[in-house]
Structure 1
Amino acid sequence: MMKTSTFFLGLATGSVAAAVTVLYSTPKSGSELRTTVKSASTDMKSKFKDVKVNLAVLKESISHLSKEVKETVPSAVADIKGSVEQWQHSTEQNKNRLEVELNAIQTAIEELEQSIAAQQK
């Protein structure tokens, strides 16, 4: 939020500096210069008001987004956690079955090795 405020402050300051530079570098009579300054002042006030409104809208948007994240993220995390637990539960039977089959294969290999060793003697 600070960086956005700094940006808009810099933008407004730059606009004022540019307006003042243009006003004083242009040859005009006193009344024309006063009219131009008054017009520029009114324009700057309008621009500052727009910046203030935009900052308020931005602040409200950030507040709304923050609130939405606080409400949405915990339920999403809970849903993901539930899905992982459900997946783990559903794969547990397959895991156990695979372990039994691997043990049976390992036993068969050991028996085969013993049989081959016995035949070679």
Structure 2
Amino acid sequence: MAADRPPEPAVELLELRVLDGPNRFANRPAIKLEFQGDPDAVVRATRDAGELVRHFHHELGYPAPRVTFRRSQDGTRAMAAFAWRRRAIAQAIAGAAARVALGVGTERRELRALRAVAEG
């Protein structure tokens, strides 16, 4: 019966957290994306998500934030965090970046949805 189940993903989004005040990533509010999985794949997905965060900000006409990366001791978890000014759009950008980095969404579809959020 194991053949009937889809394969487990090499990486999963463990947490998307809105940090409201100073935190270990920035001295102002930030968004944190935390991924878990295979050590090599988790670093790749986290870096991709960070680059997508910057790309989506740029495409929407916002200044691209500085993205901070951290990794757990055992290498199975990695985090990307960035400071935010507008909570709703920053949270939407983080979710979109995570979906694209994990291969669940496409850049084009996510950008279209983000434009709707940014305008509204």
What is the TM-score of this pair, normalised by structure 2? 0.24
The structure in which a higher percent of residues are strand is 2
What is the TM-score of this pair, normalised by structure 1? 0.24
Name the larger-Rg structure.
1
